[in-house]
Amino acid sequence: MCALIIADSSVFICGKTLAGEVVTVPGVEQELKDIRSRMRFQIAEVRIERPSKKALDRAERAARETGDLSVLSSVDLELLAVALELEVPLATDDYALQNVALHLGLRVEPVAQPLIKKVIKRAKRCVGCGQSFQGEECPVCGTPARRKRGV
């Protein structure tokens, strides 16, 4: 049996050839806008998988822990969930997706950009008073949130 790898849309956009059987989620095909990317997707004979609710919940929980939930799409969360279920690497250039995948202990294969150097946890910071907090509005002064890089 050949190895599996979960592919994000960047694999098809950049035209990277992956070793092993390529698996993705239904939403990736909709993310491909140009004819070349769509052709690469068709030629690759990609296997489409849908994640379980349990794996999707785990992926969402991990994204919330790293502070990346607000920047990940539902397709990104599905990719993470399928990678968790199948226990296989994820090929992506999306740094937020890489961050959560590494946080979950998944192996990541970068496509065209370098792999992130370390997992970070992001927090939201008030631009008014500088307070770090969870949510969309500062509980101290009511100013809208802004993401900041954590450690």
Read off the pLDDT of residues 119-128 as tens digits, 9 standing for 90 and up. 988 777 788 8
Task: Pinpoint the alpha helices (H) of 47-141.
Answer: 53-66, 74-86, 95-103
Torsion on CA atoms 73, 106, 91, 50, rounded to nearest 10: -50
Q: Long-range contact list for 56-59, CB < 8 A, 24+ apart?
A: 56/81, 58/84, 58/104, 59/84, 59/100, 59/104
- Residue 116 burial (10 A CB sphere; 0-12, 13-18, 19+): middle
Give the pLDDT of residue 146: 65
Residue at 104 is within a domain? yes
Examine the domain organization and report whether 81 and 125 are in the same domain.
no
Q: What is the mean pLDDT of residues 100-120?
A: 95
User: What's the rounded mean pLDDT across residues 7-30?
Assistant: 95
User: What is the domain range of residue 127?
Assistant: 121-151
Query: Quick one: average pLDDT of 61-85?
Result: 95
Q: Is the pLDDT of residue 151 over 50?
A: no
Token pair belonging to 52: 């379980």
> Can you tell me the distance from the alpha carbon of 6 to that of 18, in angstroms, rounded to the nearest whole number?
10
CATH for 39: 3.40.50.1010
**Inside any domain, residue 15:** yes
pTM for the full model? Answer: 0.84
Q: What mean pLDDT is predicted for residues 104-131?
A: 89
More confident residue, 67 or 132: 67
Count of domains in the chain?
A: 2
- What is the Cα–Cα distance from 57 to 63, expressed in whole angstroms? 10
The pLDDT-based confidence of 139 (bands split at 50, 70, 90) is confident
Is the domain of 42 the same as that of 85?
A: yes
Asked whether residue 76 falls in the same domain as residue 128, the answer is no
Residues 44-73: b if buried by 16+ CB within 10 A, e if exposed: bebeebebeeebbebbbebbeebbbbeebe
Same domain, 102 and 126: no
pLDDT at 115 over 50: yes
- Give yes or no: residues 130 and 103 share one domain: no
Does residue 1 have a pLDDT over 70?
Answer: no
The whole-angstrom separation of Cα 20 and Cα 33 is: 25
pLDDT for res 84: 97
Specify whether 38 is located in the same domain as 74.
yes
pLDDT higher than 80, residue 19: yes
Indicate the average pLDDT of the chain: 90
Position 63 in a domain: yes
